[in-house]
């Protein structure tokens, strides 16, 4: 069992889009979950055929504070059982975005995948971020890896 520690919390304003009061707000499903489940706010069943994708609304708007982002990640159970994942993963919710959070589900499975209202479709992890201040006056230093790229660290 993970050691009990006090985790940092951040208060984030959230609003349900009208007509979505029946859906739960994102929440952690276990004591040590890092991601909160997001639910499908579809009005009727949306079927995703194999090899296709659909934009699925979640029915919520959030106001993340500056210095934070929301990472939208796939749910492992959907991937394992149905071959369904997120097309752009991880997705990013910027601190200044005030639109509805939506996810792009893609069906890599062999069967059509039905998305019903309230289905847990993705998870959101809220993380701190930093800004980069590029320094074009200083050249990057050398390393033992150098310019070795894709697959370089596993090559013999």
What pLDDT, on the 0 to 100 scale, is given for residue 148?
83
What pLDDT, on the 0 to 100 scale, is given for residue 5?
76
What pLDDT, on the 0 to 100 scale, is given for residue 82?
98
End-to-end CA distance of the chain: 38
- Distances in whole angstroms, Cα of residue 119 to Cα of each of 10, 73, 113: 26, 15, 12
**Among the CATH numbers 3.30.360.10, 2.60.120.200, 2.70.40.10, 1.20.1250.20, which is that of 26-131?**
2.70.40.10
What pLDDT, on the 0 to 100 scale, is given for residue 107?
98
Low-confidence ranges of the chain (pLDDT < 50): none
What pLDDT, on the 0 to 100 scale, is given for residue 109?
98
What pLDDT, on the 0 to 100 scale, is given for residue 86?
98
Domain ranges of the chain: 26-131
- Which tens digit of pLDDT belongs to each residue from 133-149? 999 999 999 888 888 88
- Which tens digit of pLDDT belongs to each residue from 18-34? 999 999 999 999 988 99
């Amino acid at each position: 069992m993970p050691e009990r520690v006090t985790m940092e919390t951040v208060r984030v304003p959230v609003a349900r889009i009208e007509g979505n009061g029946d859906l739960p707000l994102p929440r952690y499903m276990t004591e040590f979950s890092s991601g909160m489940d997001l639910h499908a706010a579809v009005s009727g069943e949306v079927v995703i055929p194999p090899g296709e994708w659909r934009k699925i609304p979640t029915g919520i708007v959030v106001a993340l504070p500056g210095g934070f982002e929301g990472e939208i990640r796939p749910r492992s159970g959907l991937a394992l059982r149905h071959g369904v994942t997120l097309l752009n993963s991880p997705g990013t919710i910027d601190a200044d975005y005030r639109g509805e959070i939506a996810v792009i589900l893609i069906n890599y499975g062999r069967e059509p995948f039905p998305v019903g209202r309230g289905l847990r479709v993705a998870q959101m992890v809220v993380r701190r971020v930093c800004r980069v201040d590029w320094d074009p006056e200083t050249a990057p230093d050398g390393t033992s890896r150098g310019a070795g790229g894709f697959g370089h660290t596993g090559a013999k």
